[in-house]
Structure 1
Amino acid sequence: MLPRPARLTEADGFRAAVRSGRRAGSATLVVHWHDQGPEPAQVGFVVSKAVGNAVVRNRVKRRLRHLTREHLRELPGRGVLVVRALPDAATARPARLDADLAHGLRRVLTPRSAS
């Protein structure tokens, strides 16, 4: 379970992260990071009906919450992280979800180089 201050519950936070934040995708997840958010950083999850029925969606959310809690220390002090599950997340092993989450976090949290 995520600590209460780390839970994203407001629609505006989801909207800002998805529309204005940085994005990194994989076969099972899309990670959105918007660094102009509340302090401490908050995390939200989007698991649509395309992932599966209610039982499958809730299982995926539980796994993602558990994995994300382990990565909270990597997040900067303020911002919004939205983890969106793709249909392949329903059948992915937890190790695969963790690898995809870690990869997505590295990509969205690494500053872009000036070109």
Structure 2
Amino acid sequence: MKPGRLKRRAEFLRVAASGRKAATGGVVLQVLIRRDEEPARLGFTVTRKVGNAVVRNRTRRRLKEAARLLLKECPVCGADLVLIGRDSTRKRNFRALQADIRRALDRNGVT
């Protein structure tokens, strides 16, 4: 099943306040376990520290694609995931970025 999306600020804040966090070289992952069987809901954010709008959007697109391919291989259910892009996200090799997301999911006990 296709993952849902986190869109409202309140959803992002709930994950940040109540969830767990794991930082890797290319990404920060925040996870809030929902304890249901629905597909994972994903949210993506990149702060202004990373660059202007063009750079931030490119970084966000890289995160989205890496997460899409990874969750296609091993789907996650019952969790809200927020992926936070860093400056190193845009410079990171794509395979290394996928490995970072996988490692962050493992650290949070999601996979």
TMscore range, shorter length:
0.7 to 0.9
- The letter for the 2-side match of 1:87 is D
Alignment of 1:102-113 (within 5 A): 102-109=102-109
Task: Report which stretch shifted further, 94-103 or 70-79.
Answer: 70-79
Distance 2:51 2:4 in 1: 26
Q: What are the Cα deviations for residues 51-98 of structure 1, in whole angstroms up to 9, with x where unaligned?
A: 112111111111111111123254542221000111211211212211
- The letter for the 2-side match of 1:80 is D
User: Identity over the aligned pairs, expressed in percent?
Assistant: 33
Is the CA contact 1:28–1:97 (under 8 Å) kept in the aligned structure 2?
yes
Aligned residues: 109
Is the CA contact 2:70–2:98 (under 8 Å) kept in the aligned structure 1?
no
Distance 1:30 1:69 in 2: 16
| Match in the other structure for 1:16 | 14
- TM-score normalised per structure 2: 0.83
**Where do 5+ consecutive residues of structure 1 fail to align?**
none
**Where do 5+ consecutive residues of structure 2 fail to align?**
none
Superposed displacement of residue 5, structure 1: 5.5
- Please give the secondary structure, in 2, of the residue aligned with 1:95: helix
Superposed displacement of residue 21, structure 1: 0.7
Superposed displacement of residue 32, structure 1: 0.6
- The letter for the 2-side match of 1:97 is L
- TM-score normalised per structure 1: 0.81
Distance 1:103 1:110 in 2: 10
Is the CA contact 1:41–1:79 (under 8 Å) kept in the aligned structure 2?
yes
Of Structure 1 and Structure 2, which has the larger fraction of its residues in strand?
Answer: 2
- Please give the secondary structure, in 2, of the residue aligned with 1:101: helix
| Match in the other structure for 1:48 | 47
- Please give the secondary structure, in 2, of the residue aligned with 1:50: helix
